[in-house]
Every structure is written in structure tokens, then in C-alpha cells.
Copies of this chain bind each other. A is one copy, B any other.
């Protein structure tokens, strides 16, 4: 868990927004028909639609969030679902609290 890498991932408005969308998926998305609820998270296409940025940019942003271990990706069929990585998030908030 690298604090600066995580902070860097969160230093972009869209990526921070994506994290909020993934935290409260039912407030921002309709569930994907293929899977029940948001157990696995939200698929790239829905995040892409909401963002207004290109598909490649969103895919790249999700890889940055994943590289910072802020999200967990699960591939099911054609889709990749992303959800928050609660463990990293908790550790990050605790580490920040003792550092700043």
C-alpha cells in the first residue's frame, strides 16, 4: 500500500468521481442484467457512459485505480466489473490520518 501512489490516483477529478460511483453504485447505475445487483461492482461500459470521456481513457483510469489497489476487477464473460477494494481504502485512510 503506497500512500503517494494512491493519492496520485485520487488526484484526478474523474477518477475520484469513479470511486464515489463505485462506492454507491445503486445511486448512480442501474444494475447490469447479466449479474444480480452490484456484488461484483460495475462494468466498464456503464462507467464509460457516465464519464463523458473516451473508452480508452476510462479503461486506462480503471487500470490506474487497480494498480493503486483501490479497486478489484472481476472478469465475467465479456465484461469486467470493478468494485472498491475496502481493505486498501481503510488502510489508506488510517495511514493518512497518522501522517498528515
Is A53 interfacial (CB-CB < 8 Å)?
Answer: no
Counting chain A residues whose Cβ lies within 8 A of the other chain, the interface size class is 20 to 34
The majority secondary structure among interface residues of chain A is helix
Contacting pair B99 A96 (CB below 8 A): no
Q: How far is the CB of A12 from the nearest CB of chain B, in Å?
A: 6
Copy total for this chain = 2
Interface stretch (choices A2-10, A42-50, A55-63, A73-81): A2-10
Q: Given the complex of chains A and B, what is the CA–CA distance between A23 and B8 in angstroms?
A: 21
Q: A4 with B12: in contact, given A93-B96, A100-B20, A100-B89 (CB under 8 Å)? A: yes
Closest CB in chain B relative to A90 CB, distance in Å: 10
CB-defined interface of A7-18 with B at 8 Å, one 1/0 digit per residue? 110111100100
Chain B residues with Cβ below 8 Å from A93 are 93, 96-97, 100
